[in-house]
Amino acid sequence: MKQRRTRESGAPPVATMDARAFTLLSLTVLCAIVAHAAHLPVWYIAPLAAIIVARWWRRRRRRGRVSGWSRAAMLLATALAVFAKYQTPFGPDPGAAIVCGLLVLKLLESETVRDARMAVGFSCFTLMTVLLFDQALVMTLVVGLMLLPALATLRALEPGLPESGWLAAFRPGSALLLASLPLTLLGFLLIPRLATPLWGSPNQGMARSGISDRMAPGDLHSLLNDNSVAMRVGFDGEPPAADQRYFRGMVLWRFDGREWTPGFAARRPGPDAPLAQRGDLVRYQVTLLPSHQHWLFALDVPIAAPRDAQLGPDRTLLASKPVDQTLRYNVTSAVDYRLHPDRLPPGLRRWALELPAGYDPRARALAKDWRAKAGNDDAAVIRDALTLFHTGGFVYALDVPPLGRNSIDDFLFNTRTGFCEHYASAFTFLMRAAGIPARVVVGYQGGYWNNVAHYLLVRQSNAHAWTEVWLQGRGWVRIDPTAVVSTIEMADAGGDNGAPIGGSIGGWWLPWQNRMDIINRWWSQSIINFDALSQSHLFRPFGVNRTDAQTLGIALAIVMFLGLGIGALLASLKPREKPRDALAAAQLRLQKRLARAGVVRGHAEGPGDYYERSARAMPSAAPMLRALSTEYLLLRYAHSEPPPERVRDFVRQVRRLRPSRVL
């Protein structure tokens, strides 16, 4: 490290970073920032990354901290950007944004070794916070690999790193990570777990499922392009047919001219909707990923509510608290049924026919024309509407033009392009205008069936909306108008979606993601969901039904003592002198060469006396030996941290010395 005197007289020199150490530090900070790119806005992450690169480029030409005014301006810009985006400094997302900004600010003022070590610790903390947002296997591996630059930076800050020290800087960190895996597994299994996490701040981020209780044209667009996992479903026996994989979420009754909402009808008091079961029941277990919402999803339709949930009047499921952690629940559903078949109460009929005044006159006129032709035949009206969507030039696409005030008219007679929510909204409107009770249902449809692990993988891109119409003697009947559209302007890359139209545009890699999800499922079940209850059953295969904290502590102590004992035994069987650093390694190499030449160092002989005796015994090498002796004593005893440039020069001189054997 470069040495510079502090302003105070008599103060010891302060070591500054060399170019290699600062490059590794910049890489460490950049890794910590980029790791947060998945949940922080691009317009925030990109400038931070640019500032890191600019700081590295500037430092290559001129050493020294960035000016205080520049750092103060960046601090103010960070605060303003976070407040403009989140309107609060509290919560995981704004907290992560603030931490990333402060980390880059620390890099701007890092110049000494002490600054660098603090920045490395700060980077590791920032990197670990990524796991608060995503604990999947891939992200965990990424975070682990991104620790390597931090460990390499700490190695580069040590004195005496050889000139060809890039690999030498990364090698110790890689070895440490590999050596830490058994200890990590031991701590993961045996350190007693808390029932709740250490951090208690509620997650104020957006719902990961993205499905909300409101539906307007374009609201599902982001979901249909999102291939992240929504839930996994395992069945007791064979799964239902592909055309029966409709997972009911919410029922939307009220339409205000633009968006559908549940309305009072969905929250009405009273008994559940009467259900006439037909066929066998389907029993299954759902593993729902965090959505931060109350609603659960079940095959259409659930028979009863699982534990800690309630069954709504429209056969929808609501959890007692938001789903902030991965939730497992068992459900029994009837996929062949009649819902409310006998009679629709007047109040429900009125809500199922309600339309806002002054909106979409052309759609109303079209529905009335169908009704006039069909008379009392509701099925004929439904056929006319489905025929319109099939042969009327409609296109299923995610890139849709915007709609005006009369959104239904614009869609039916102008754009004729949309995805599931456009078709479900327009079809429900037409049914109501024709006098047929109708409502919108949102949830998921389809999924990828994994034949190896026997579970159904449902992604966010499987989000779907469909319509239920009420017919006399049949009750609420599910109709999916999106499925009849004949023209599709997108590739169904989702594998087995269970429907003619798939919502996702995942590229060629999505089928491979579906097949490899079995690893993510194992990771979620075995690692992420390993809680205090799972730990209490850890020794059940050995006859211990319930393991308490004392038993875990005893097991941990036994394993640690065994490991230490084995390590001590191995160390005693093969003793080996290891130098502390590059300077000590070079000195030891020189000492061995002199010993092979015939001059062996005595046990109580100091390095200066030893090299002087060697110089007298080897006149041809005496000048170089005396120079090496002087340089070694200065590097070892005149500096708190020897300058790396002089250490590298000492190493080169030792390599060049080839002493002749003493007679």
Residue 287: strand, helix, or coil: strand
CA distance linking residue 415 with residue 203, whole number of Å: 39
CA distance linking residue 170 with residue 172, whole number of Å: 6
Of the candidates 490, 335, 363, the one whose C-alpha atom is nearest the C-alpha of residue 425 is 363
Q: Which two tokens stand for residue 175?
A: 């070895």
Q: Residue 598 CA to chain centroid, in angstroms?
A: 63
Of the candidates 449, 447, 475, 499, the one whose C-alpha atom is nearest the C-alpha of residue 229 is 447
For 622-645, the DSSP string reads HHHHHHHHHHHHHHHHS-SS--HH
At residue 164, φ and ψ (nearest 5 deg) are -90, 60
Burial class (CB in 10 A: 0-12, 13-18, 19+), 511: middle
Burial class (CB in 10 A: 0-12, 13-18, 19+), 587: buried
Please tell me the number of Cα atoms within 13 Å of 356 on its side-chain side.
15
Q: What is the 3-state secondary structure (H, E, C) of 319-362?
A: ECCCCCCCEEEEEEEECCEEECCCCCCHHHHHHHHCCCCCCCHH
For 251-264, the DSSP string reads EE-EE-SS-EE-HH
Q: Which of 31, 464, 496, 517 is catalytic?
A: 464
In the residue annotation, 422 being an active-site residue is answered as no
In the residue annotation, 420 being an active-site residue is answered as yes
Q: Do strands 281-288 and 229-235 pair parallel, antiparallel, or not at all (unpaired)?
A: antiparallel
CA distance linking residue 310 with residue 296, whole number of Å: 10
Residue type, 134: D
Q: Which of 420, 422, 496, 517 is catalytic?
A: 420
Residue type, 492: D
As a whole number of angstroms, the longest Cα–Cα distance in the chain is 123
CA distance linking residue 271 with residue 231, whole number of Å: 29
Burial class (CB in 10 A: 0-12, 13-18, 19+), 626: middle
In the residue annotation, 100 being an active-site residue is answered as no
646, containing H or E segment: helix 644-656
Of the candidates 226, 297, 216, the one whose C-alpha atom is nearest the C-alpha of residue 461 is 226
Q: Do strands 260-261 and 309-311 pair parallel, antiparallel, or not at all (unpaired)?
A: unpaired
Q: Which two tokens stand for residue 349?
A: 């009929």
Q: Which of 115, 480, 496, 517 is catalytic?
A: 480
Position of tokens 């303003």? 80
The residues that are catalytic are: 420, 464, 480
